[in-house]
Chain A
Amino acid sequence: MEVLVYLVPLALALGFVGLLGFLWSLKSGQYDDLDGAAWRAVADDEPNGPSTPGPTSANGPARL
């Protein structure tokens, strides 16, 4: 029974580490998009195709 004095705090400490882990994941925004996250897991990670530079002309304000 003496062993409980070590084991119980150890078990609690492990649980606490898990809680800290959850709080960290919440803080880093991993729960902001649950629908997306569900699909990202099964998405095919294709490497990006050839990059096509688009036009970069800036449109100024319309003039009357």
Chain B
Amino acid sequence: MQADIDFSHYLKRTGAGLLQLDLAVEGINCASCMGKIERNLSSIPDVTSARVNLTDHRLALEWKAGALDPALFVKRLAELGYRAYPFQRNNAETLETERARSLLRRLSVAAFAAMNVMMLSIPVWSGNVSDMLPEQRDFFHWLSALIVLPAAAYSAQPFLSSAFAALRARRANMDVPISIGILLALATSLIETIGHAEHTYFDAAIMLIAFLLAGRYLDQNMRRRTRAFASNLAALKAETAAKFISPTEIRTVPAAAIKPGDIVLLRPGECCTVDGNVIEGRSEVDQSLITGETLPAIATPGSAVFAGTLVRSGTLRVRATAASGDTLLAEVSRLLDHALQARSRYLRLAERASRLYAPIVHATAFLTMLGWLASGATFHDSVVTAIAVLIITCPCALGLAIPAVQTVASGALFRSGVLLNAGDAIERIAGVNRVIFDKTGTLTLPELDVANLASIPDDVVKLAGRLALSSRHPVAAAVARAAGASEPLADIEEEPGRGVQGYYEGAPIRLGRPSFCGADILADEVLCRDPEASVVAFSHGGAKHVFAVRQRMRPDAAEVVAGLARLGIMVEIVSGDREPAVRRAAETLGIHKWRANVSPVDKVARIESLTSRSYKVLMVGDGLNDAPALAAAHASMSPVTATHMSQAVADAVFLGERLGPVMTAVSGSRRALLLMRQNLWLAVVYNVLAVPVAIAGLVTPLIAAAAMSASSVLVMLNALRARTREAV
């Protein structure tokens, strides 16, 4: 299966006749894995370098061109117990990485300047109270200006350009007061230096820049890491398609390389990775990932299939289309656009804080100046005092307050299997008081499971499982999994669309449709007991048995529903599946509110009606039909098995078989939001204490520097408390 990957799409040639390949590797979680993989792959002759990146779980390989087949690496890694898949950095990730690097560069310049200016400032502060000559002080001030002005010109660019862009658009953001503060402080200090004054604020200005850049860098690095992990997941999903490269020849290529007009082969048991139209063949298809409907539909030439459709019985040839003109997909895209526009109206905590902050601080500074003028101080002294107010109210605690908590909290969530997609996801998830679950693939696991295992003798199950190994039908695969079968029977042939048959111990043995095994009556009985199951029959000689196959609940779904109720969150199910199936799931989990047969439009309508009654809804879903609802909800999550579109619009993606991460995300976000608020209050308290001192004109550069560092460090330390995870 893995052997026929087409690697040519992923290889990079270097100048020296070497080939490079990046692999995303699953299962690297410790340092010994790193050594093991590197040692093993470096030992292959002609491999010039094998280096594991433990942060991003990737492996970079380099070898002499033409010497070996890249498939060997994947095979070697599989032998070591790691699943690997070639992967290519997408543009978004490259951009994020580049941005994080440039912030780190600017941060290092600002930090260097801040440290070296301190070397000059401390003598001045101590000299001011002892025996420093004015000439010496001026010399030190000029040196400070020489260091700080170029450093600030380089490192403050992110704030200045963002503030400029905001002003051009007639908006104010957090960067506007920051930029005003920095520019005023630098300008005043320069004028004071020229005027032989006692105090300058060069050190304060550059420290402010350094602290704020640290906050920005943390924020950016968190986003980069999430993005890197998400691309690994996408690569490891190994979405490939069997593309016809001539009328009779197929080749497995990455799904991303399929262009509209290409013809793709879909075999039974395969999941379609492209949108397109069937041009040949007939098959039952499972569209549960698209519509939530668990009963199979029939695909014939002319019908549309979407990425995520599972082919059950026959083989299909599909012509890929760019955007299917089908009503469902078009409708979903239209709803999605509408919902995303509505979402962009959400105001982040930081933005709300800065909207309050800027006018208050600027008004205070202005009033300070007027007050001093009124009390008879010189214009120069009044302005300097006003600027001291601006500097001491520095937004560095404010600028660090939220990114620091976000970084720590998202790291903690990351370790418990939740990947955050959006920067403000934590705030929005923390605010929810209603959770809507989709059923198929969200409350239930995407794989099928045998429900009536208890009523069938063990030896029959084992034998049926071994026979099922010869079929590619997903229902048969469920029987094989349930039996834990690993040895297929010999000489088995498959009758497409009907089942598999052969001989075992001299008697005919069959597995497939009830009619194929002559077990119609038995199948009807099973279906009466369990109406939404798929049935697969098994006959050996005269003995007949029917397996009921259905989707299994996630193992901890009931606990999560109960846990959410303890947090005071009402849970409901809104599903596209049929009523009996949804009713059963709701009863199993003890959920009183549920809706079945819901179209994408109605899902959005349900969320909007809850929103209009001022509920804040967390939508958890995986299907294409959930995508608009995910975008319309206050916050949203998807399992990692969801369709691309759903994952792209969800605020967070959770990994694994369990539903627990949803609970963790809610409780972890609530805790993080609490800490963010605490941090903002800490910043406010600091300002309330510091501002009167500044208004009184008592703030020297020494006090400003000490107060600023102290408040930033306090906020950072408080943010680290987001690490401790409560047991869920």
Contacts and interface: CB of A to CB of B under 8 A. Distances in A.
Interface stretch (B52-60, B541-549, B629-637): B52-60
Interface string A12-35: 100110110011001000011111
B54 to A, nearest CB: 3
A26 B105 contact: yes
Interface in B243-274: 245, 248-252
Contacts of A48: 39, 42-43
Contact of B71 (A18, A43, A59): A59
B52 A61 contact: no
Interface string B63-89: 000011101100110000000000000
B39 A23 contact: no
B53 A15 contact: no
A31 B52 CA distance: 14
A48 B76 CA distance: 16
A6 interface: no
Nearest to A36: B54
Interface residues of B, number: 44
Scoring A1, A34, A50, A64 by chain B CB atoms within 10 A of each residue's CB, the highest score goes to: A64
A59 B34 CA distance: 28
A22 B43 CA distance: 33
A62 interface: yes
Contacts of B108: 19, 22-23, 26
Interface string A34-47: 11100110111010
B43 A51 contact: yes
Contacts of B116: 11-12, 15
A19 to B, nearest CB: 4
B120 interface: yes
Contacts of B143: 8, 12
Given A59-B3, A64-B250, A39 B105 contact: no
Given A12-B116, A31-B104, A56-B68, A39 B245 contact: no
A1 to B, nearest CB: 7
Q: Is the interface of A mostly helix, strand, loop or mixed?
A: loop
B322 interface: no
Contacts of B101: 26
B136 interface: yes
B69 A57 contact: yes
Nearest to B120: A8
B112 interface: yes
Contacts of B42: 48
Interface string B106-128: 00110010011001100000000
Interface in B130-160: 136, 139, 143, 147
Given A43-B35, A54-B72, A15 B112 contact: yes
Contact of B72 (A8, A31, A36, A56): A56
A15 B485 CA distance: 67
Given A31-B104, A36-B55, A15 B72 contact: no
B249 A63 contact: yes
Nearest to A41: B31
B31 A43 contact: yes
A3 interface: no
A53 B45 contact: yes
A63 B47 CA distance: 30
A64 B249 contact: yes
B726 interface: no
B147 A12 contact: yes
B4 interface: yes
B44 interface: yes
Contacts of B120: 8
A35 B136 CA distance: 47
Nearest to B71: A59
A26 B48 CA distance: 24
A15 to B, nearest CB: 5
A61 to B, nearest CB: 4
B31 A11 contact: no
A54 B76 contact: yes
A49 B108 CA distance: 41
A25 to B, nearest CB: 10
Interface string B21-55: 00000000001001100010011110000001111
A45 B248 CA distance: 51
Contacts of B71: 58-59
A33 B35 contact: no
Contact of A62 (B4, B35, B44): B4
A51 B105 contact: no
Nearest to A52: B43
Nearest to A56: B68
A62 to B, nearest CB: 5
Contacts of A54: 44, 68, 72, 75-76
Contacts of B72: 54-56
Contact of A49 (B39, B56, B76, B109): B39
A53 to B, nearest CB: 6
Contacts of A34: 55
A17 to B, nearest CB: 10
Given A15-B116, A43-B35, A56 B56 contact: no
Nearest to A61: B251
Contacts of A63: 248-249
B112 A49 contact: no
B54 A58 contact: no
Nearest to A58: B69
A23 B109 CA distance: 9
Nearest to B52: A36
A23 B155 CA distance: 14
Interface in B220-252: 242, 245, 248-252
Contact of B45 (A16, A42, A51): A51
Contacts of A43: 31, 34-35
Contacts of B35: 43-44
B679 to A, nearest CB: 25
A62 B250 contact: yes
Contacts of A55: 72
Contacts of B4: 59, 61-62
Nearest to A9: B143
Contacts of B44: 51, 53-54
Contacts of A23: 105, 108
20 contacts: A1-B136, A4-B136, A11-B119, A15-B112, A19-B108, A19-B109, A23-B105, A33-B54, A36-B34, A36-B55, A39-B31, A43-B34, A48-B42, A51-B43, A54-B75, A55-B72, A61-B250, A61-B251, A62-B242, A64-B248
Interface of A: 1, 4, 8, 11-12, 15-16, 18-19, 22-23, 26, 31-36, 39-40, 42-44, 46, 48-59, 61-64
Interface of B: 3-4, 6, 31, 34-35, 39, 42-45, 52-56, 67-69, 71-72, 75-76, 101, 104-105, 108-109, 112, 115-116, 119-120, 136, 139, 143, 147, 242, 245, 248-252
- What 5 pairs across the A-B complex have the smallest Cβ distances? A39-B31, A36-B54, A61-B251, A19-B112, A35-B54
Given A61-B6, A64-B248, 4 more contacts: A51-B45, A54-B76, A55-B72, A62-B251
